[in-house]
Structure 1
């Protein structure tokens, strides 16, 4: 039993420290996700060891101290997404918000057949805008009639590779584009949204590839950081939303926020885990909304599941440019900007390789 605890302690301590390595290797980056799980499991191992065998000699005390440091290392990442931490995105104090809107995000899961259940949820929530990730043509056809009637403006790119995207809006859209920033079969959307008051903002929707078996993250990092730079340089205040396939506390997401100078409404409020809706013990915040300080938060909610492996999210914001200076987004320094450029360059090179492979294999083209 003692040997088993020592081996497990070593493994989970390694899980805690491996993500310090700035590498896109999937088996390293995937360890950004289970920070809470590693902290809990390693705490249980440490407590069990001390209860059964005491503190032991100097070598054992050193081992236990390292385990404790590994636990603290995990906690320092997730702490900021608990109600104990200071909030980053402030709530609106306006009693009657004049430039408010609600955005709903839902990764519908392409193989999910609960089309009617999803439609009922959307019609019940009645958002001003809706982002659907992973829809294929079957999903598009199943919701098109009702949603076209409810939302007069849209951008559509259904695909059968799990990276399709649909965007619906009650508000007028301008200069809409379907962009393929890194990979030829993974779209992102850009549009200028005009609110009923005439005020405008830029909206970017994204859904890059996740880290998974034999699939590294160069293209994910590149796509997110390209969007971060674009959002920072546009004429209007920006909102970035979608299934980022990354957790809120990862180094990539932190760098994204610094480059874009955007706020995360989860900070100081909670995890709002959206994936995996089908496995309660393993859930992470993968679906995000980031926005410029010109906006104030009205509400942030995780909605009921509808058959997908993701929970949908709904966020309500109000455009309040006069209070912009009261919110303090993170800021990139010279080193952050250099790192972002390097990651973008690496990701674009990897994207070219993948695009070439897909073309040779007769893969999907847009």
Structure 2
């Protein structure tokens, strides 16, 4: 038993420190996700060891100190997403909301056939804007019968590769574009949204590749950081939303925030885990909304599951540009820009390689 606890402790310690290596290797980047789980398991292992065997030798002290440092390493990443931390995005103080927006984000899971359950949820929530990730043509055809009438504006790119995307909007969409920033088969949307008052903001919706077996994360990093740079250069305030396939506390997401200058409403409030809806013990915040300080938060809420492996997220924002200076905006350093440029270059090169490979396979 003593040996078993020792082995478990050192394995979990390795899992804690591995993500400190700045690399796109999938078998390292996946350990960005379970930081809370590793912290809890390693804490339980440490307490079990001390309770059962005590601290008798210098070797025990050194081992337990290393485990404790590994626990602290995990907690420092997730701490900001607990109510103990200072809130980054401020709540609106207005009683009457003049320029407000209700935005719903949902990864429907392409193979999920519970079309009506999802549609019922959308009709119940009745968001002003709806971002749908992973719709294929079957999803599109089912939803369009009801939603095309309810939402006069839309951008649609249903696909059969789990990277389809649809945006429905009650507000006017201007200069809408479907972009393929890194990979030819993975779209992202960019549009200017005009609210009923005439106020405008820019919306980016994204769904990059996740880290998975034998698939590294160069293209994910490149797409997110390209969007971060694009959002920073826009004339109007920006919102970025979608399934980012990355957790809120990862180095990539932090770099995205610094480059874009956008706020994360979960900081100081909670994880708002959206994946995996089917496995309660293993859930992570993969579906995100980041927004310009010109907006104030009204509420953010995780909605009920509907058959997908993701929970949907609903966020309500109030456009209050006169109070934007009251919110502390993330700022990028020279090193941040240098790192972002390097990651973008690596991702674009990898994307070009993948695109060429797919073109050759298609030609064959």
State the TM-score bracket (shorter-chain normalisation): over 0.9
Which residue number corresponds to residue 284 of structure 1?
Answer: 284
TM-score, with structure 2 as normaliser = 0.99
Secondary structure in structure 1 of the residue aligned to 2:173: strand
Which residue number corresponds to residue 5 of structure 1?
Answer: 5
In the aligned structure 1, how far is the partner of 2:58 from the partner of 2:213?
39
RMSD after superposition = 0.6
Which residue number corresponds to residue 175 of structure 1?
Answer: 175
Which residue number corresponds to residue 67 of structure 2?
Answer: 67
In the aligned structure 1, how far is the partner of 2:329 from the partner of 2:245?
22
Which residue number corresponds to residue 311 of structure 1?
Answer: 311
Secondary structure in structure 1 of the residue aligned to 2:362: coil
Deviation at 1:61, TM superposition (A): 0.5
Deviation >3 Å, runs of 4+: none
In the aligned structure 2, how far is the partner of 1:154 from the partner of 1:145?
13
Which residue number corresponds to residue 106 of structure 1?
Answer: 106
Q: Which runs of 5+ in 2 are unaligned?
A: none
Which residue number corresponds to residue 124 of structure 1?
Answer: 124
Structure 2 residue 219 is the aligned partner of structure 1 residue 237: no
In the aligned structure 2, how far is the partner of 1:343 from the partner of 1:316?
32
In the aligned structure 2, how far is the partner of 1:122 from the partner of 1:189?
21
In the aligned structure 2, how far is the partner of 1:329 from the partner of 1:160?
38
Which residue number corresponds to residue 223 of structure 1?
Answer: 223
Deviation at 1:59, TM superposition (A): 1.1
Secondary structure in structure 1 of the residue aligned to 2:202: strand
Structure 2 residue 26 is the aligned partner of structure 1 residue 14: no
Secondary structure in structure 2 of the residue aligned to 1:362: helix
In the aligned structure 2, how far is the partner of 1:330 from the partner of 1:15?
29
In the aligned structure 2, how far is the partner of 1:168 from the partner of 1:361?
34
Which residue number corresponds to residue 77 of structure 1?
Answer: 77
Deviation at 1:99, TM superposition (A): 0.3
In the aligned structure 2, how far is the partner of 1:145 from the partner of 1:152?
12
Deviation at 1:227, TM superposition (A): 0.1
Which residue number corresponds to residue 212 of structure 1?
Answer: 212
Which residue number corresponds to residue 259 of structure 1?
Answer: 259
Structure 2 residue 353 is the aligned partner of structure 1 residue 353: yes
Secondary structure in structure 2 of the residue aligned to 1:308: coil
Deviation at 1:60, TM superposition (A): 1.1
Q: Deviations over 1:121-151 (max 9, x none)?
A: 0000000000000000000001001000110
In the aligned structure 2, how far is the partner of 1:55 from the partner of 1:290?
46
TM alignment of 1:50-61, pairs within 5 A: 50-61=50-61
Which residue number corresponds to residue 247 of structure 1?
Answer: 247
Secondary structure in structure 1 of the residue aligned to 2:338: helix
Q: Which runs of 5+ in 1 are unaligned?
A: none
Which residue number corresponds to residue 134 of structure 1?
Answer: 134
In the aligned structure 2, how far is the partner of 1:329 from the partner of 1:256?
13
In the aligned structure 1, how far is the partner of 2:310 from the partner of 2:333?
34
